[in-house]
Structure 1
Amino acid sequence: MDMKHKALETEARSIPEGGAFLNRELSLLEFNRRVLAQAEDPSIPLLERLRFLTIVSGNLDEFFEVRVASLLAQHQMEAGHNGIPHALATTLERASAECRVLIERQYRLFNEEILPRLSENGIHMLRRSERNAAQRAWVKQFFDHEVRPLLTPIGLDPAHPFPRVINKSLNFIVELAGKDAFGRGTGIAIMKAPRVLPRVIRLPDELSDKKGQSFCLLSSVIQAHMADLFTGREVVSYSQFRVTRNSDLWVDEEEVKNLRQALQSELHSRNYGFAVRLEVGRGCPPHLSNFLLNQFEIDRSRLFAVDGPVNLGRLLEVANTQDKSELKFTPFVPGFPPKLTGPDIFASLRKQDVLLHHPFESFQPVIEFIQTAASDPCVVAIKQTIYRAGMNSDLMEALIGAAQRGKEVTVIVELMARFDEEANINWAGRLEQAGAQVVYGVVGLKTHAKMALVIRREAGGLRRYAHLGTGNYNSTTAKFYTDMGLLTASEDVTADVNEVFIHLTSLTRPKQLTSIWLAPFSLHKEIVRAIREEAAIARHGRPARIIAKMNSLTDESVIKALYEASEAGVRIELIIRGACALRPGVKGMSENIRVRSIVGRFLEHTRIFYFRNDLKHDIYLSSADWMNRNLFRRVEVAFPVRSPALKRRVLREGLHPYLKDNVNAWDLGSDGHYKRRKPRNGQKAVSAQQMLMEMLGANSLPTKENEHGPDPVAPR
């Protein structure tokens, strides 16, 4: 890293000392540093490094669409009252500076390392100057026949106003000289790249003088033939550009009569929310970027001039379409729990609960649980929550089939699941057409709980079976998100699940639940109670320990309870993938708290809460992070793991490997920055995810569960 970039990075990363809480936005950007570090890691296969690079782009898009947009909306609301709050203005300023450093690093890595390495391995991303004569001729023909007919340049004047620019779309601004058809001089034209055109174009292999496959970007094709679009005029300068807009949807749930219909009409407006970021090519002349900034009313601090395509995320297509196994992670085949290999899943669950650990174990048992229920003549009812099911889903098709067979099917579809609204609206419509009862949760709250309930008529009467999980009912993401799920026939747990469904459909207050913690009613209270009880144990001089794993930790009341427990002597270990507002390792406040983040091949998504509780080893799995939104503005559940054998599994698979990891682990310092752990002094390299792949994958060796082992988490 040169001195200029090092100085920029130091400035952007400076976090003031003191204060009990770290900034959430800057913590999110720290997470993207850790993802970018995966792209920079030469030990990771090349196409996977490209994939991580594109993930950073997608994450930054969402950061601006959601977090920066939220701050700007707050900024606008408060600007009229005694000026702009200093803390808010400072956060926006520092977030922009941090993003600038990240993006500089990202494009430098792309240009100086990823592209050359791809070319060395027969994947050539060709710029205009790198295409040979035959390829230039082919590109010209492609432009004339496939691209030009779809382009509509808009020359700006009072009769041709600035066109509406869709969120995150590829566009061009062009400065023209010479007289137009009506005798007027210099002007500016705006041109959209049609969404129907591919952004990455493969060139015919026979035209190449290089071994391997050659590609070019649509932006490069258009720019190479820009002059062809403006006959009789001179193209003085031009640049690609991309605008990121606020993407939060809003409907007044208390006013609308049908949330699905209201949201359907609102989806289109997402493309035209207020602008929050402008990306242009590095060669864009300042007067053109200034013109765009003024047009979109974007502050200069959120202008990013990039050295390459304005959307690196489009290159994910290259990583996905290549069949070069040597440039990708070794394929992984998940294991299948032996306790579910019999012919009757319900008979298995009557004997014992089954814990599933994805993606190391297959998600197929969850799909088969619903499919079996849908076709089983003894099953009379199925109830399920849906947050993100995806566009194609065998599980959703099974629910539709169950409704068509006359079973009582009730589905709570969360229509406000960000960026999945359209898919969920479509599923809701199909479910209703099939005869299912579909509701959309509770007004003002997102239903984020992951639950499925099957009611079956058996010899002794009706019996309930349930699945509860930490992740979505999405078979695609289940292949690369780590999550845990519990299949159970436990009477008290399934009774609680049924009460939650009645609460969601009837809007009555749920009865007192005996086993499940439910947000927004009891979850926050129970978490704080469990933390405080652990603190009380420590004050009496007995060993006390808390381990919690989740995506984000930002709720200040929970963090304060953890600080108090730390001061009481509780040993606290937190595994937080993304944003963490807790400041660890501060004397007199959090010196007994350690925070680490794991960023690896799979996206860490499991939520596990462990409290030693005088050797009772209380373990809860949950759909909820310890964030204000999860605890107070969502319907969430945390459910217990009761079986001693399954408790040991959660500890052995869900927590212990992550506390030992020295390959993909990053330790959070009290200054808000993370330092990567590395094996030291001859230590063995330990990757939690690799360990679990070897332990649980299809080729793993079976392990014997010891029912009466020693305290698995006794303090060292």
Structure 2
Amino acid sequence: MTKAQPPTSFPPQAPEAPGPGEALDLDQPALYLNRELSQLEFNFRVLAQAMDERVPILERLRYLCISCTNLDEFFEIRVAAVRHQLQFGGPLSPDGLPPTLAMKAIHQRAADLVEQQYRYWNDVLRPSLADSGIRILGPAAWNARQKRWLQKYFRDEILPVLSPLGLDPAHPFPRILNKSLNIVVVLKGKDAFGRAGHLAIVRAPRSLPRIIQVPASVSGGEHDFVLLSGVLSSFVDELFPGMQVKGAYQFRVTRNSELFVDEEEVENLAHALKDELAGRGFRHAVRLEIAENCPKAITAELLKNFELPETALYRINGPVNLNRVTQVYDLVDRPELKFPPFKPRQNHFDAESPFDTIREGDVLLHHPFDSFSSVLELLQQAATDTNVLAIKQTLYRTGADSPMVEKLIQAARNGKDVTVVVELRARFDEEANIRLADQLQEAGVQVVYGVVGYKTHAKMMLIVRREPGGLRRYAHLGTGNYHPGTAKVYTDIGLMTARPTVTADVHQLFQQLSGLAPLIKLNCLLQSPFTLHAGLLKRIAREAALARSGKPGRIIAKLNAINEAEVIHALYDASRAGVQIDLIVRGACGLRPGVPGVSENIRVRSIIGRFLEHSRVYFFGNEGKPELFCSSADWLERNLLRRVETCFPILDPELFARVYEEELANYLADNTHAWALQPDGSYARLEPEDGAMPHSAQQALLAKLCN
């Protein structure tokens, strides 16, 4: 095992085991890890992938940029929430960490992450890329010919679209857009009007490329790139003729990006969201990134302008928007420097029609190893089949120019009754989903925005078809979005079925979402916010009762995150009863494993690999009659109590065995990309024990399922 950096959890140590006869309070804060700090730890594991020399160099670049993008979102959402709590109060999370201490701990750990990101970029990754013929050139490395070409590029392509703003009483500090690239310029002298220069702000418009490729005829290298920030800083003096530029320093401000819409008070959610989106880029600041060499007086002025404390400042030894370097991955066509391509399994329908195959038996898809094209094929068949009467579908994230949307529109134009539940509040996809809703409505699709106060995060599709025996329903249920792009890089489970008990449940769920239906009783599905939380607690308690009676108790769950206090409490209680519990949790985990007398029977691991682990699978031993569910829901408070989610059983014995083997046993055997969560909140990377064969869960699936 190789330990990661020490955590900043609170309290730093788990409680001691209770003495004989002592009662144990399973709700005490010391038994819970802070969600924000746990989420930060996930990004250290992503960064470790960038540092892994077994990973191809361009993939390592991509991992570094992912860790930067993740950190942006962390500040926009998680840190923004803590700052809101600091300002306005609110209930503490189960770990009991007050917002003042949370902000201090977050800053310390985030500063560690930023320092490691840029040290690795400057000292290792950038030189290694250069050794592979991919150079990201800073101003100090430009030769005379490169500098002349870049100066001409600046004058022809950049300067005409810039609007520098000198700061004076008539020109106050401009509004700075969230995560935009800016240069603060220190000036000396007077302009044509006799105004004395002091400071100016140069904003880089969104229309300008952040990565500029220098032609090989100029640079001599086929893959030579420069950053826009370097070009702006080097030639910014041309914007201020007659004045002396004493310094130019890049900076970037991150703002609160959570939208606040009081759904009870609006008549039209789409219009209300449009109004909120217009101001999202200029909400309260939560972080300031600035060039490392920027004078303290300038940083103090920027902090004052953005109303930020010193703890929100991050000095950067490199580009403030390092995540933009990910464009190099797409610009460089060097297959040998990337993961080898794979061909997912196709043709999941044995019969002439997908409906014939599904009617014969359930069809399981394990993305990305199984192609998403089968979902598209099913929807395409439904759109053109004259026997199909209706299609109902949920859409949370679909991507630009989605083929799913095209087929739904085609179905509506072919006279099918098409109803789509579009979640307008899918974070960072709100604007795209509003456009999507408008597009569907214009084509005659009935669009539903879900339930007030509850995001519709469920992934389900229902097709109603007239057949010789009467109307038959076909359903698709999944753990991931109907997004062909993410289906290539996220691991997810999809199930196609014509089982009447399942399809009747899906029908009722759609009725509930589109109408004003009462609480419904489902045959075999669990749903949030009504039965999933209680169903989990019931099954965990059942395993605990089995263990207390001397029978084996077993729970395995694969999740993205867990923080719901009642579920963690129940898992602790089951562990104390003797239930063996394995949790495969990719990201934040609020549960402390391995605490004597509390959770010594709980093991938590995180898998970080080529694909983003996204599937949610729950297994309960149930005294030899095991249950296995797949779900759209993590074990988070929001998913279990404040969202519309689905949880569906795998009822076919062969598919049950396949999901258990591929998604659970396979990942519990991983000893190359697995990280074990320690009781103190740190993670240790697992390595093969002496004599053991290395096993990568994702690589095993590629070898087993793909060509």
TM-score interval, normalised by the smaller of the two chains: over 0.9
**Kindly, what percent of the aligned residue pairs are identical?**
52
Instruction: Write the distance in 1 (CA, Å) between the matches of 2:540 and 2:5.
Output: 37
Distance in structure 1 (CA, Å) of the matches to 2:414 and 2:642: 36
How many Å separate the matches in 2 of 1:86 and 1:671? 15
Q: Work out which structure has the larger RCO, using CA pairs closer than 8 Å and 6 or more positions apart in sequence.
A: 2
Q: What amino acid does structure 1 have at the position aligned with 2:624?
A: L
1:255 deviates by: 1.9
- What SS does the corresponding residue of 1:254 show, helix, strand or coil? helix
CA distance in 1, matches of 2:604, 2:85: 30
- 1:256-288: CA deviation from partner (whole Å, max 9, x where unpaired): 221112212221111011000000111111111
TM-score (norm 1): 0.94
Q: How many residues align?
A: 686
Once the 2 structures are TM-superposed, how far is the Cα of residue 219 of structure 1 from its aligned partner?
A: 0.9
Task: Assess, with a 3 A threshold, how the Cα gap between structure 1 residues 86 and 386 changes in structure 2: closer, same or farther.
Answer: closer
Distance in 2, Cα, partners of 1:108 & 1:14: 28
SS of the aligned residue for 1:272 comes to coil
Among candidates 128, 133, 139, match of residue 139 of structure 2: 128
Residue 32 (str. 1) matches residue 43 (str. 2): yes
- 2:399 is paired with a residue of what secondary structure? coil
Q: 1:502 aligns with which of 479, 502, 511?
A: 511
What residue is the counterpart of 2:472 in the other structure? Answer: 463
Deviation at 1:21, TM superposition (A): 0.4
What whole-Å deviation, never above 9, does each CA across 1:331-363 have from its counterpart, x for those lacking one?
Answer: 11111254x143211011111001110001111
SS at match of 2:657: helix
Residue 462 of structure 2: which of 453, 464, 480 is its match?
A: 453
Distance between the aligned counterparts of 1:305 and 1:272, measured in 2? 22
Contact 1:337 1:361 survives alignment (8 Å): no
2:307 to 260, 285, 297: 297
Aligned-partner Cα distance in 2 for 1:438–1:13: 45
List, as ranges, runs of 4+ consecutive aligned residues in structure 1 with deviation greater than 4 Å. 8-15
1:221 aligns to 2:231 (yes or no): yes
Cα displacement (A) at 1:186: 4.2
Match of 1:526, SS?
helix
User: Counterpart of 2:43 in structure 1: which amino acid?
Assistant: N
Residue 244 (structure 1) aligns with: 254
Indicate which of 585, 604, 611 corresponds to 2:613.
604
**CA distance in 2: counterparts of 1:187 and 1:653, whole angstroms:** 63
1:86 Cα deviation from its structure 2 partner: 6.8
- Among 106, 112, 127, the residue aligned to 1:95: 106
Residues 1:536 and 2:545 aligned together: yes
Q: Distance in 2 between matches of 1:40 and 1:263?
A: 40
Closer, same or farther: CA 11–686 of 1 in aligned 2, 3 Å = closer
The code of the aligned residue for 1:250 comes to F
Aligned-partner Cα distance in 1 for 2:332–2:472: 49
Counterpart CA distance in 2 for 1:202 and 1:15 is: 49
Q: Could you tell me which amino acid in structure 2 is paired with residue 391 of structure 1?
A: A
The answer on whether the counterparts of 1:13 and 1:98 sit within 8 Å (CA) in structure 2 is: no
| CA–CA distance in structure 1, aligned partners of residues 499 and 7 of structure 2 | 55
- Alpha-carbon contact 2:528-2:641 (below 8 Å) kept: yes
Any unmatched runs of 5+ in structure 2? 15-29
1:243: Cα distance to partner?
Answer: 0.4
Distance in 2 of aligned mates of 1:362 and 1:510: 36
Partner of 2:451: 442
Task: Output the amino acid matched with 2:13.
Answer: E
Moved more, 182-191 or 560-569: 182-191
Give 2:636's aligned amino acid.
M
Deviations 1:560-606 (A, max 9, x none): 00001111111000000000000000111101000000000000000
Q: Equivalent residue for 1:194?
A: 205
Which residue in 1 is equivalent to 2:187? Answer: 176
Q: 2:12 aligns with which of 9, 16, 23?
A: 16
Q: CA deviation at 1:13?
A: 6.9
Residues 88-122 of structure 1 deviation map (CA, whole Å, 9 limit, x = unaligned): 11111101110000010000100111111111111
Query: 2:524 is matched by which residue type in structure 1?
Result: S
Query: What residue is the counterpart of 2:272 in the other structure?
Result: 262
CA contact (8 A) 1:15 1:672 kept: no
Cα shift at 1:212: 3.3
Deviation sequence 1:298-340 (CA, Å, 0-9, x none): 11111011111001110110012211111100011111254x1
Q: Is 1:74 the counterpart of 2:70 in the alignment?
A: no
Change over 3 Å in CA distance of 1:356–1:9 after alignment to 2: closer
Deviations 1:501-549 (A, max 9, x none): 0000112224210110011010100000000001111111111100000
Is the 8 Å Cα contact of residues 337 and 356 (structure 1) preserved in structure 2?
no
Are the equivalent residues in 2 in contact too, given 1:442–1:507 (CA < 8 A)?
no
> Residue 363 of structure 1: which of 354, 372, 384 is its match?
372
The worse-fitting range, judged by mean Cα deviation, of 500-509 and 260-269 is 260-269
Change (3 A) 1:354 1:78: same
1:332 and 2:342 correspond: yes
1: CA distance between counterparts of 2:448 and 2:172?
A: 43
Find the counterpart in structure 1 of residue 18 from structure 2.
none
Provide the C-alpha distance between the structure 2 equivalents of 1:686 and 1:15, rounded to a whole number of angstroms.
Answer: 35
Q: Which residue of 2 aligns with 1:581?
A: 590
Per the alignment, residue 26 of structure 2 pairs with none
Q: Aligned partners of 1:435 and 1:144: how far apart in 2?
A: 49
* Aligned partner (choices 56, 67, 80) of residue 56 of structure 1: 67
Structure 1 unmatched runs, 5+: 1-5, 700-716
Displacement of 1:9 in angstroms is 6.0
Contact 1:244-1:277 at 8 Å conserved across structures: yes
Cα-Cα RMSD: 1.6
The CA deviation at 1:10 is 5.1
Aligned to 1:44: 55
- TM-score scaled by length of structure 2: 0.95
C-alpha separation in 1, matches of 2:121 and 2:310? 25
**In 2, Cα distance between equivalents of 1:212 and 1:120:** 13
Secondary structure of 1:614's counterpart equals: helix
CA contact (8 A) 1:9 1:98 kept: no
Alignment of 1:423-438 (within 5 A): 423-438=432-447
1:516 corresponds, among 525, 532, 540, to 525
Q: CA deviation at 1:14?
A: 8.2
**Partner SS for 1:298:** coil
Q: Aligned partner of 1:674: which letter? A: Y
1:616 is matched by which residue type in structure 2?
K
Equivalent position of 1:546 in the other structure: 555
Listed one character per residue, the Cα deviations across residues 368-396 of structure 1 (whole Å, up to 9, x for unaligned) are 11111011100000000000011121111
